[in-house]
Amino acid sequence: MRLDNITLEGMLPRVFVSESIPDSGIWRATATFRRGESYLVEATSGGGKSSMCAYIYGARTDFEGRLLFNGVDTSRFDMTRWQQLRQENIAYLPQDLMLFPELTALENIRLKNGLTGYASDSKIEEWLERLGIASRKDSPAGRLSVGQQQRVAIIRSLCQPFDFIMLDEPVSHLDEHNNRIAAEIISEEAKALGAGIISTSVGNRLMIDYDKTMHL
Amino acid sequence: MKKTSTGHDTRGCGQLLSRLLRKNTSPARIAGFLVSNFLGLAIVLGALQFYSDANSIWSADDSFVKSDWLVINKKVTSANTFGESADFTPEEIADLERQPWVRSVGRFTTADFRIFARMSAGNGTGRSMSTSLFFESIPDEYVDVDKSLWRWKKGSGEVPVIISRDYLTLYNFGFASSAGLPQMSEGLMSGIPLELTLTSEDGTRMKRFKGHVAGYSNRLNTILVPDEFMRIENAELGSGATRNPSRLVVDVNSPGDVAISEYLEARDLEVAGDKSGASASFLLKVVTGVTVAIGAVITLLSFFILLLSLSLIMEKNATTLHRLLMLGYDAGSVAKPYTRLAVYAPLGALFLALCCAALLRGSYLPALEGLGADSGSFIAAPAAGAIITLLVIIFNVVSVRRKVRESWRR
């Protein structure tokens, strides 16, 4: 199955229900993300962008309103359905990275790639080289700097086929140079797959050309 | 660049997965489970197997007398010794037959001649023993045995004899050991031919027969021969005097009826039966029950140890579980190491416990067989063990699945 569009219909985190929230392009509105297009979701801290990512990834359901995949309500999706979506349709870089600190950088990447069998060893090597962490690939992830961990997690998120790649503050700890390289790699991959990009930011944004910017 | 061949490095990935998930596994706790579960199961299974093996001593199907047939006699008091008869008069029998709970009454016929039996014991050793005997018979319809085995025609065949199982026990543990004779199992005893010599009371007439033991009874404290045989030989060797029966077999509607015991008590009548067997069987049940209960408690506790250790490992690895599920790993692969533990650990303990129960059985079986147990097969322990272990496994696997689902959305 190909995931062509993701629609957030009147979505609102439950914790916000009793609060008055400022005008938003997403909360309480109808927002649609289309495959092949790139979106920047800008928010202030605490605006709920990580919540939005978790909702779209099926990791949380504490929201009002509806989440539609290709127009189908996701509220009835079971675990198996979500696991399939996570392997084939939606790549996700969570803000807290969710690396396994006891595994090396390369092992963390392989843990995902072993599941999908998607990227070749040489491709992974190339990404590690370009992002400047090839020399640290055998270090436990827990020993790497946050910036290095962020780059490992970016590579890991690319180790699968996807219709959308969702990046939650992907470059918050990267310098401009690495930001540019990460943007290049992600764009290349998304373009090759005809996938959509959803990137969030509270300031430091991933340097790609966005088709649309939304405010939370 | 898309590599479609499946899992080019999945092997390494499986190792990574199990490395992550096995974190916090405590060999000590698993060993604790194995030892306690083995102990508990060994006690439960050993006791159940012993019960199933030993129970045959008392509950061996007494196929010769149905349970709703009561054998009754008058209580023997000192008055009987000094002349008063313990026989049933025709009036007493008629009264009994009138009772609403009686279907029919059969009379025991006593032999009106002398019997001398000789049997060679100990194949080929030339030793033999002989004894005076007595015979009784009851109408054939009260003997619930294959009619082809319980048939006697004048001038043909051997005389089938049903003896009380107590007699064999008396012989084996009383007589044989003190007289230096070999002990005999029921099967062996049945295979030895009996040479019967019947003499009339006055010694003028004598007849020889071959006989064999056709069966053993717990409820008939007598030596039974076919009614037809008794009728003919009483006519030919007997004195001709009619005697009242001293014992009756009564076919009743329901043996548990209170009216029956009241009637019998009022007339000083006794029901012959396996009373001692019943109390021994009851004792066996109580002892087995207590032992099984102790074993069951230990098994239950050990089962909680496993459940708790699994919960603890999964609790400690909750973040790992959650992250793996976030990566797209399915619940089955994430649960696998724990499911394996939940399946193999109880199976291992069951295997050890069954070995233990089998060893135990090997040590008590010869003694039991000496007591006349019809040693069944090694079924009770494996069957009970399989059921208990299956339940434990199902419960654990279900709880592992539930735990994984809990880590799904946190």
Mean pLDDT of B165-169: 80
Nearest residue in chain B measured CA to CA from A61: B409
Q: Which residue of A57, A80, A103 is in closest CB contact with B330?
A: A80
Nearest to A117 among B1, B3, B320 (CB): B3
- pLDDT per position as a tens digit, B302-320: 988 889 999 999 999 999 9
What is the phi/psi pair of residue B228, to 5°? -60, -45
CA-nearest of A59, A85, A73 to A1 is: A85
Query: Each residue of B336-366: pLDDT tens digit?
Result: 999 999 999 999 999 999 999 999 999 988 8
Please tell me which of the candidates A100, A117, A120 has its beta carbon nearest to residue B320: A100
Asked if the Cβ–Cβ distance from B6 to A79 is below 8 Å, we say: no
A41 torsion bin: left (phi>0), alpha (psi -120 to 50), beta (else)? beta
Spatial distance between the Cα atoms of A147 and A144, rounded to a whole number of angstroms:
8
pLDDT tops 90 at residue B272: no
The chain B residue lying nearest A102, using CA atoms, is B20
Within a domain: residue B317? yes
Token pair for residue B144?
A: 């619930």
B163 and B132 together in one domain? yes
Flag if B9 and A79 touch (Cβ within 8 Å). Answer: no
**Domain count along chain B:** 3
Look at residue B50 in the predicted model and tell me its pLDDT.
87
Write down the pLDDT at residue B152: 78
Q: Are strands A72-73 and A30-34 parallel, antiparallel or unpaired?
A: unpaired
Q: What is the pLDDT of residue B171?
A: 80
B210 lies in a domain? yes
Spans in chain A with pLDDT lower than 70: none
Tell me the C-alpha distance between A107 and A94, whole Å.
18
Q: Please tell me the pTM assigned to this model.
A: 0.66
Tokens at residue B242, please? 């009619």
- Tell me whether residues A113 and B13 touch, CB distance under 8 A: yes
Share of chain B above pLDDT 70, in %: 84
B51 with B156, same domain?
no
Residue B42 located in a structural domain: yes
Give the residue from B71, B95, B40, B270 showing the smallest Cα distance to B164: B71
- pLDDT, one tens digit per residue, over B95-125 is 888 888 888 888 888 888 888 888 765 555 5
The per-residue pLDDT for range A11-22, each reduced to its tens digit, is 999 988 887 777
**How far apart are the C-alpha atoms of B82 and B10, rounded to whole Å?**
98
Residue B84 has pLDDT above 70, yes or no: no
For the cut 90, the answer to whether the pLDDT of residue B222 exceeds it is no
A100 → chain B, closest CA residue: B320
| Residues B135 and B221 reside in one and the same domain | yes
Is the CB of residue A98 less than 8 Å away from at least one CB of chain B? yes
User: A157 CA to chain B: closest CA distance, Å?
Assistant: 9
Contact yes or no for A90/A3 (Cβ under 8 A) = yes
Domain for residue B4, yes or no? no
**Residue B11: closest CA among chain A residues belongs to which residue?**
A114
Q: Do B1 and A123 touch (CB under 8 A)?
A: yes
Query: Which residues in A lie closer than 8 A to residue B330 (C-beta atoms)?
Result: 79-80, 83
- CB–CB of B70/B255 below 8 Å? yes
CA distance B5 to chain A (A): 7
Beta-bridge partner residues of B406: none
pLDDT at B169: 81
Q: Are residues B149 and B231 in the same domain?
A: yes
Is there a domain that residue B3 lies in?
Answer: no
Q: Are A110 and B13 an interchain contact pair (Cβ–Cβ within 8 Å)?
A: yes
Domain membership flag for residue B219: yes
Residue B240 and residue B114 share a domain? yes
d(CA A55, nearest CA chain B) in Å: 11
- Does the distance separating the beta carbons of A86 and B327 come in below 8 Å? yes
Q: Is A137 on the interface with B (CB under 8 A)?
A: no
Specify whether B53 is located in the same domain as B68: no
How far is it, in rounded angstroms, from Cα B38 to Cα B349? 5
Task: With CB atoms and an 8 Å threshold, state whether A115 touches B13.
Answer: yes
CB–CB contact A119 B3 (8 Å): yes
Name residues 13-72 of chain B within 8 A of A (Cβ). Answer: 13-14, 16-17, 19-20, 23
Question: Do B13 and A98 make contact, defined as CB atoms within 8 angstroms?
Answer: no
Residue B58: what pLDDT? 60
Distance CA A15, CA B339 (A): 37
Range name among A76-85, B191-200, B249-258 with the lowest pLDDT average: B249-258
User: Does any domain span residue B211?
Assistant: yes
**Whole-number pLDDT of residue B338:** 93
Residue of B nearest to A91 (CA): B327
Q: Rounded to an integer, what distance in angstroms lies between the CA atom of residue A166 and that of residue A180?
A: 17
The sheet that has B102-107: what strands, in order across it? B102-107, B247-252, B69-74, B269-272
Regarding whether B301 and B395 lie in a shared domain, the answer is: yes
Exposed/middle/buried for residue B365 (C-beta within 10 Å: 0-12, 13-18, 19+): middle
The answer to which of B141-155, B222-236, B274-288, B300-314 has the lowest mean pLDDT is B274-288
- Cα separation, B226 vs B135, whole angstroms: 10
pLDDT of the residue at B275: 46
CATH T-level topology, domain A5-102+161-215: Rossmann fold (3.40.50)
Selecting from A94, A114, A123 the residue whose C-beta is nearest the C-beta of B12 gives A114
Average pLDDT of chain B is: 81
Distance separating alpha carbons of residues A108 and B224, to the nearest angstrom: 86
Provide the pLDDT for residue A162. 97
Looking only at the bridges linking them, the beta strands covering B136-137 and B194-199 are: unpaired
Query: Which residues in chain B are contacts of A59 at CB distance < 8 A?
Result: 326, 409
Mean pLDDT of B209-216: 84
Q: Does the CB of B7 have a partner CB in chain A at under 8 Å?
A: yes
Q: Is residue B400 part of a domain?
A: yes
pLDDT tens, residue by residue, B10-45:
555 788 888 899 888 888 988 999 999 999 999 999
* Alpha-carbon span A153 to A137, nearest angstrom: 12
- Residue B71 sits in the same domain as residue B167: no
Query: Residue B207 is part of which domain span?
Result: 109-244
SS (H, E, C) B67-125: CCEEEEEECCCHHHHCCCCCCCCHHHHHHHHHCCCEEEEEECEECCCEEEEEEECCCCC
Domain boundaries, chain A: 5-102+161-215
Q: Quote the minimal CA–CA distance from B331 to chain A in Å.
A: 8
Q: From residue B303, how far is each of A83, B128, B357, B393 by CA, in Å?
A: 32, 59, 19, 10
Work out the burial of residue B190: count CB atoms within 10 Å of its CB; fewer than 13 is exposed, 13-18 middle, 19 or more buried.
middle
Residues B115, B230 within the same domain: yes
Among B7, B16, B331, select the one facing A103 at the smallest CB separation.
Answer: B16
- Give percent of chain A above pLDDT 70: 100
Q: Tell me the shortest Cα–Cα distance from B397 to chain A, in angstroms.
A: 18
Pairing of strands B102-107, B247-252: antiparallel
Cβ within 8 Å of residue A152, ≥6 positions away: A97, A99, A105, A108, A109, A133, A141, A144
How big is the A-B interface in CB pairs under 8 Å? 82
Give me the DSSP letters along A64-78: EEEEEETTEEGGG--
Q: Does B326 touch chain A (CB under 8 A)?
A: yes
For residues B66-94, give the mean pLDDT.
Answer: 77
pLDDT at B13: 77
Give A-chain residues touching B3 at CB under 8 angstroms. 117-120
